[in-house]
Structure 1
Amino acid sequence: MQKFLVRRALLAFVTMLSVSLIIFIMSRVSGDPRHIYLDDYSTQEDWDRMGAVLGLDKPYYQQYGIFLKGAFRGDFGESVREGRPVTEVVIERAPATLLLGGVAFTFSLLIGVPLGILSAVKRGTMMDAFGKFVALIGQSAPPFWLGIMLMFFFAVKMGWVPPYGKQDWNSIILPAVTLGWYYAAANLRLVRSAMLDVLDSEYIKLARAKGVNSRTIIMKHAFRNALIPPLTFAGVTIGALVTGSLVVETVFAWPGLGRLAIEALFAFDYPLLQGVVITFTLLYVTAAFVVDVAYAYVDPRIRYA
């Protein structure tokens, strides 16, 4: 188990290192960052001085080393748009995104997993048809369209919830449903498929022949052995819910990292954008690492793969 954890930790480290290199290269390819800070009336001395401050007077490998050192310390420089340290701005916005992602993830599990189990157990019935219909609609509706429709009916027409922003506790309902609906539908299909495979296996038939209670068969034997595919998708879901928040946070004006990334992009605030991307990557890699550990717990064979 220890070797397994070390391998996964090394893989996570290499992933973060690779992303940092890509971000650094893209920031240099996009143009001279001094254009962000200086105008057309700046003198050559101003350009040289700013180049020294930003480290542009050094070779690229030294610039990357400085960037990497700052990233490890959580120092991404100062935001051009906010006039504050990037880390301070990211920490200020991160809780809203984590809250939205957590609620959306919970929603996707509460809807997708029970419906997937029921759809598999009631195969060929109206319940199964309903589950398939929900999965089809959920995976067909684009998040931006779904968000606008939910906002129109439940916020504008009905007035049940605020249409945008983080005003009250119920402000999160529409963004969370919009963000989590696709993954609820995907979980439904995945759990149904995995459960059907397990329910058709020989040991389940043997348990039924021995008169084991149906509830015990479904929850103790079938569901646990069908957990690997949903767990695999859970890692993708957690990361995608965080990174996929860009569209949803923009539609609902939710004050999180996704909206911050869009604002930084339009303001050409590259230091802030770099900080947000690194934060997204860290959250994604952490989620993947946790899911890998969960694999090893659920199926010990994975530890020795």
Structure 2
Amino acid sequence: MLAYIVKRTLGAIPTLVLVTIAVFLFVHVLPGDPARLAAGAEADEATVTLVRHQLGLDLPLPEQFVRYFDNMLHGDLGESLRTRRPVSREIAERFMPTFVLTLTSMVWSVLVGLVIGVISAVWRNRPPDAIGMTLAVSGISFPAFALGMVLMQIFSVQLGWLPSIGAGSWRNYILPSITLGAGVAAVMARFTRAAFVEVMKEDYVRTARAKGLSERIVVVKHTFRNALIPVVTMMGLQFGFLLGGSIVVESVFAWPGMGSLLVDSVNMRDYPVIQGLILLFSVEFIVINIVVDVLYGLINPAIHYK
């Protein structure tokens, strides 16, 4: 197992290099002059030229990339063009609010999605299945920003039960986590149902029923573990998407996380912060994929790694 993890980690290095190159080129084709933004709207051309030289933006693009990549290998992601603070510090201050929000959203959405999916599979083509899949389709179809504004209007404005902005206490997490996790719960429900229906058609499941085992034993002991492998794959992907894709929800609820930081950085053409955030999101996806592969072996001991 350890050799497999090391092999996968080393194999991810070329992917990270390609992602770094792609992100570097992408941010440099964005419209706008970051030197002008950093110097200020009232700065004259000489000041802008001086700022551009200080930031190294007057160097040829390949030389800029080599300098950035060398600094990155030494753990230096550069300085924010807006705040002149290290990018690593900017990201670190915004990481935990996003991570806790994502984790909260993932926990409840996976539990709800699994329950709805299993119930729909066991009672497929019957009222519980119809109700569950209707909820799932609704969760997928309803845009996150619209759901967030509806929840905010009802529970914050009209009822006054929950705060609408900020991340000061656990109550602040309720509305954003519901908004962020609704789509994931819907996807998990549909995916779980499909996986369970497929497994429940297998011969060993029919044999278990023929032996007179109760439906609960059949589902829990003979179906759940085998149907869980594709579901775990979807869980890993959804967690990565939540962690890197909370921009809309954070904007709606004024959440002090990485999503709002990315939006501000794009608006201000803050190249180092944009590059650092997207690189972090890429690393997160790679780590999640490795964790998912390891979980395969824990769920199904028949799986062997080479």
Counterpart residue number, 1:22: 22
Aligned counterparts, 1:126-165, within 5 A: 126-165=127-166
Counterpart residue number, 1:216: 217
Counterpart residue number, 2:124: 123
Long gaps (5+) in structure 1 = none
Aligned counterparts of 1:99 and 1:49: Cα–Cα separation in 2:
37
Counterpart residue number, 2:11: 11
Counterpart residue number, 2:44: 41
Counterpart residue number, 1:197: 198
Aligned counterparts of 2:190 and 2:39: Cα–Cα separation in 1:
53
Paired amino acid for 1:131 = G
Name the SS for the 2:275 alignment partner: helix
Aligned counterparts, 1:81-96, within 5 A: 81-96=82-97
Q: Percent identical across equivalent pairs?
A: 39
Counterpart residue number, 2:79: 78
Aligned counterparts of 1:301 and 1:5: Cα–Cα separation in 2:
18
Q: Deviation digits for residues 187-225 of structure 1, max 9, x if unmatched?
A: 001111111111121111101111233322111210111
The alpha-carbon deviation at position 32 of structure 1 amounts to: 5.7
Aligned counterparts of 2:51 and 2:118: Cα–Cα separation in 1:
64
Deviates more, 1:116-125 or 1:102-111: 116-125
Q: Is the 8 A contact 2:87 2:273 kept in 1?
A: yes
Q: Is the 8 A contact 2:37 2:268 kept in 1?
A: no
The alpha-carbon deviation at position 10 of structure 1 amounts to: 3.0
The alpha-carbon deviation at position 66 of structure 1 amounts to: 1.9
Aligned counterparts of 1:49 and 1:182: Cα–Cα separation in 2:
44
Counterpart residue number, 1:285: 286
The alpha-carbon deviation at position 157 of structure 1 amounts to: 1.0
Q: Deviation digits for residues 251-300 of structure 1, max 9, x if unmatched?
A: 00011000111111122222222222222222222112211222243346
The alpha-carbon deviation at position 8 of structure 1 amounts to: 2.2
Q: Deviation digits for residues 67-86 of structure 1, max 9, x if unmatched?
A: 11222333222212223211
- Pick closer, same or farther for the CA change 1:108–1:10 going to 2, 3 Å: same
Q: Is the 8 A contact 2:225 2:300 kept in 1?
A: no
Aligned counterparts of 2:22 and 2:7: Cα–Cα separation in 1:
23
Counterpart residue number, 2:168: 167
Q: Is the 8 A contact 1:8 1:292 kept in 2?
A: no
Q: Normalization by structure 2: what TM-score?
A: 0.90
The alpha-carbon deviation at position 63 of structure 1 amounts to: 2.6
Aligned counterparts of 1:292 and 1:55: Cα–Cα separation in 2:
42
Instruction: Give aligned pairs, total.
Output: 303
Paired amino acid for 2:15 = T
Paired amino acid for 1:8 = R
- Pick closer, same or farther for the CA change 1:73–1:107 going to 2, 3 Å: farther
Name the SS for the 1:226 alignment partner: helix
Q: Is the 8 A contact 2:191 2:231 kept in 1?
A: yes
Q: Deviation digits for residues 226-272 of structure 1, max 9, x if unmatched?
A: 01221111121011001110000000001100011111112222222
Name the SS for the 2:12 alignment partner: helix
Question: What is the aligned-residue RMSD (CA, Å)?
Answer: 2.3
Q: Normalization by structure 1: what TM-score?
A: 0.91
Q: Deviation digits for residues 147-203 of structure 1, max 9, x if unmatched?
A: 111111111111110011113211110100100000101100111111111112111
Say whether residues 1:259 and 2:230 are aligned partners: no
Aligned counterparts of 1:228 and 1:38: Cα–Cα separation in 2:
53
Aligned counterparts of 2:33 and 2:64: Cα–Cα separation in 1:
13
Aligned counterparts of 2:155 and 2:50: Cα–Cα separation in 1:
56
Paired amino acid for 1:258 = G
Aligned counterparts, 1:211-250, within 5 A: 211-250=212-251
